[in-house]
Amino acid sequence: MLSIDGLAAIEAGVRLRFASRIRLGNGSYLDQGVYIHACPAGVTIGPRTLVMHGSVLHVYNFRDLPHAGITIGEDSLIGEMNVIRGQGGVSIGSRVYTSPLVQIIAVNHVFDDPDRPFVDQGITAEGIIIEDDVWIGSGAVITDGVRVGRGAVIAAAAVVTKDVPPHTVVGGVPAKTIKTITREAALSGQSERRGSVYLSLEQVS
């Protein structure tokens, strides 16, 4: 049976496989068309975290992988049509926002031997860690074995193949550092910004 800490909202058309291994935090939300497949280590979605339309959270573990599972912290947002594959384990922190069409793939095929099909060469599954307060742009891909540091920003369509330091903006294929987010840069940006900045009601009060 599905485990819910308090109240959670689940829209029509949500599919849950191995529901007894899924845990939803109080105030969490699963939008229409979300698919969650939870093998042994399961899937945990934290309080007030939203998983939007068409996203797939899949722990595809038929090889007894030791760290398989997906954990998402509090107040995070998984955007529309995201794919999160948790064979190597995916840990996503709190206040992490992913834009539409992001892929977080904690598994990789081995293809070193030209004389054998890649499907016969096995897989690696090192895992992915995304720390708190990270923003990931539309269409970005986070590959296996990567750690994204707190407060980092991943540009749209970036392919992240190496660790991202905290408070760093990266972009490109493969992703490279664009800039570091500093207090001085924030003050400069405030003076140069042409558009308006809108805060939530909680931030205003």
Q: In what order do the strands lie in the sheet with 153-154?
A: 9-10, 29-30, 50-51, 77-78, 97-98, 135-136, 153-154, 168-171, 176-180
DSSP the chain: --EESS--EE-TT-EEESGGGEEE-TT-EE-TT-EEE--TT-EEE-TT-EE-TT-EEE---SS--TT--EEE-TT-EE-TT-EEE-TT-EEE-TT-EE-TT-EEE--EE----TTS-GGGS-EE---EEE-TT-EE-TT-EE-TT-EE-TT-EE-TT-EE-S-B-TTEEEETTTTEEEEE--HHHHHHHHHH--S-----HHHH-
The amino acid present at 134, given as its one-letter code, is V
- Known catalytic residue: 37? no
Among the listed residues 53, 58, 67, 109, the single catalytic one is 109
Catalytic annotation, residues: 109
